[in-house]
Amino acid sequence: MAFHDVRFPTNLSFGAIGGPERRTEIVALASGFEERNTPWAHALRRFDAGMGLRSLDDLSEVIAFFEARAGQLHGFRWKDWSDYKSCLPSAAPAFGDQVIAVGDGQTRVFPLSKAYRSGATVYRRPVTKPVQGSVRAGIGGAEVFVGINYA
């Protein structure tokens, strides 16, 4: 399988139904308690674009996209309209929205991630394929250009 660096048409993805899925295995014990496990470290995002189709031309565009990816053989970019920003969907992204790491004077490379908080629990989802030009970063309270070495 390969990844095709092409985005599913955004005019068709808006209105799609779906979101994150997790695989959780629940085992009932003889004592009546349960054990819960997951083989996945991170959620899989799954969407149904059928709700975004408004015409036969839209359907034709989806079929062309599907055939160009050889069905499910190749991955592709998808804009998740409910989770494509570092901030709330109604806000404008800023360089200080997410704390990626706190420098220790030694570490030079920090993985890009997005934090999800609920109470005291924080889950960090890796961001592995950001849209070029969309990442904003800061050091010491000042915005910096991404991709430049700030020693």
* Residue entry with tokens 């149904």: 48
121 pairs with which residues across the strands?
Answer: 118
Instruction: Give me the chain's average pLDDT, please.
Output: 92
Record the pTM: 0.80
**Gap between the Cα atoms of 129 and 56, Å rounded:** 31
pLDDT category at 139 given cuts 50, 70, 90 is confident
**Gap between the Cα atoms of 22 and 41, Å rounded:** 9
